[in-house]
Amino acid sequence: MTELSWDAKDKGGRYCAPACGRGCTAREHDLAEAKAEVLARALGPGWEPEVWENLGWHYSVQSPCKRLSVSPSLGSFMAFLGEPGGIGGRWSAHGETPQEAIKAVIAVAVAEYEEIGAIIEGLA
């Protein structure tokens, strides 16, 4: 069996990888890139946009430290916090704005950190 490529091909308005097969368009790709750029600029210097294809074009942005990523999610935003450069993250949270999602995911991580601290403190 031949392995299909994930390299998008431009064919008459379509911009889709053979492995995807959805029929993604160049317009969808360009829109995802533009929205990713706007989100990165809104979050400040050093935030990097990322665009990928998987049954459509999707985007996220990654923080300068590579520990936070933010992406749109059904009319709101989803933030992930984890190891630098990883996909997704150990913690995740939603927010109505990208900033709210970031604050929420940090709060989730801090709460877990405090819980772990209390457990360790109780070992004595």
- 124 and 74 housed in the same domain: yes
Taking 90 as the threshold, does the pLDDT of residue 123 lie above it? Answer: no
Looking at the structure of the chain, the number of domains it has is 2
Q: Which structural domain, as residue segments, surrounds residue 39? A: 7-58
* Dihedral sign computed on CA atoms, order 62, 20, 24, 93: negative
pLDDT digits (tens, 9 = 90+) for 75-115: 999 999 999 977 788 999 999 999 999 999 999 999 999 98
- 67 and 54 housed in the same domain: no
- Which structure tokens are listed for 4? 């299909």
Residue 99 phi/psi, 5° resolution?
Answer: -65, -40
Residue 72: the pLDDT is: 96
- 85 and 46 housed in the same domain: no
- 69 and 118 housed in the same domain: yes
Q: What value does the mean pLDDT take over residues 14-23?
A: 89
d(CA 63, CA 45): 9
pLDDT digits (tens, 9 = 90+) for 61-75: 999 999 999 999 999
Residue 63: the pLDDT is: 97
Taking 80 as the threshold, does the pLDDT of residue 1 lie above it? Answer: no
- 50 and 82 housed in the same domain: no
Element (H, E) at 113: helix 98-121
* Beta carbons of 92 and 80 less than 8 angstroms apart: yes
The model carries a pTM of 0.85
In a domain, 1, yes or no: no
- 51 and 77 housed in the same domain: no
Q: What is the mean pLDDT of the chain?
A: 93
Residue linked to tokens 């809104």 = 42
